[in-house]
Amino acid sequence: MSLSKKILSFLHKSNATRLAQKFFPNSLTVLNYHRIDYLENNQDMFQPNISATPPMFEWQMAFIKKWYRVISLQQLTDWLTNKAPMPPHAALITFDDGYADNYTNALPILKKYDLPAVIFLTTGYIASNRPFYWDLASYCFVHTQTDRVQFPDGAEKAWQSVEEKKATLKSWIEAMKKLSENEKQTWVSQLPEALGVSIPHDFFENKMLTWEQIREMRNANIEFGAHTINHPILTRISLTQAREEIIGSKQKIEQELEEPVTSLAYPNGMQTDFNTDIAAIAKEVGLASAFTLLSGPTLNSTAKKNPYTIRRIFISHNHSSAHFSLLASPLNRLRNS
């Protein structure tokens, strides 16, 4: 066992993470999930977006249910608008994108533990067979017969093993995030030909939620927020386009659910992926909050002062129970990553 894993195990078993939580009752712990599924069911999809297997997700929900006061997005909005108090040790469960396994795998567990959650929908993908670029890239890398790929900076990277290929895929996707949206779309559209792969026209069917499923989930205490129409990184497009992406996503959900949308999750959500201008747009179009992917938790006083930069904790299927308990703890903010 590595030193870092030994430290994690010690903190978990010694209840140090729980003790730290007691000293920070007035903080908001927001968990961020993407997909809940088994890796073996997703050999062709981008596996880093699988946040947890169903058994691990259930363990995490039981843990959060026991040690935190799980709130709804509406409760958070009421607190931000001074209509209601915030309970101590508050936690919010969120998902991004709108994958179908949120319905098939996550919803039954959330219902079992009577937990609310919010899903931020990328509305241009809902009820469609349109793949996100990271899933399209993953399919191409899995099925290519070549052993190298070109990057936007002109470099060519090769691989000699499956693990090296997976690492190159992740690097290629990260490189896409640094491009303008137009440049990214060009590179993504050329990838199948560059890797000599033909994607079946129906391969990505039923990967995303349908509006019927979304309405059923809404009746089961799941709320929905905006995650743009097309999932561009908002600082890689013009402010006019950013406004259209935010408003379009918000309005589509409101049209389908016939209720107001009050919150936004910034695509990618890291420090360079949003700014004060983007946050101002969110406020101007009537959203009460917006979420980043800067790791949390967030002190209540900070969230109240800056409701458009609320932190969230990215959850990965690589996280052990000890790692999860540390991430959810205020000790998380002492980490460098």
Q: Could you give the residue range(s) of every CATH 3.20.20.370 domain in the chain?
A: 27-126+206-334
Q: Cα(64)–Cα(222) distance, rounded to whole angstroms?
A: 17
Q: Cα(67)–Cα(25) distance, rounded to whole angstroms?
A: 11
pLDDT per residue, tens digit, the chain (337 aa), is 344 555 445 555 556 555 556 656 789 999 999 999 999 999 999 999 999 999 999 999 999 999 999 999 999 999 999 999 999 999 999 999 999 999 999 999 999 999 999 999 999 999 999 999 999 999 999 999 999 999 999 999 999 999 999 999 999 999 999 999 999 999 999 999 999 999 999 999 999 999 999 999 999 999 999 999 999 999 999 999 999 999 999 999 999 999 999 999 999 999 999 999 999 999 999 999 999 999 989 999 999 999 999 999 999 999 998 889 888 887 665 543 3
Q: What is the pLDDT of residues 59-77, one digit of tens each?
A: 999 999 999 999 999 999 9
Helix (H, G, I), strand (E, B) or coil at 70: strand
pTM of the model: 0.93
186: enclosing H helix or E strand: helix 181-195
CA angle 265, 271, 275 (to 5 degrees): 70
CATH architecture of structural domain 27-126+206-334: Alpha-Beta Barrel (3.20)
| DSSP code, position 130 | P
Say if CB 21 and CB 330 are below 8 A apart: yes
Amino acid at position 154, single letter: G
Biggest CA pair distance of the chain: 59
Dihedral sign, Cα of residue 105, residue 106, residue 108, residue 113: positive
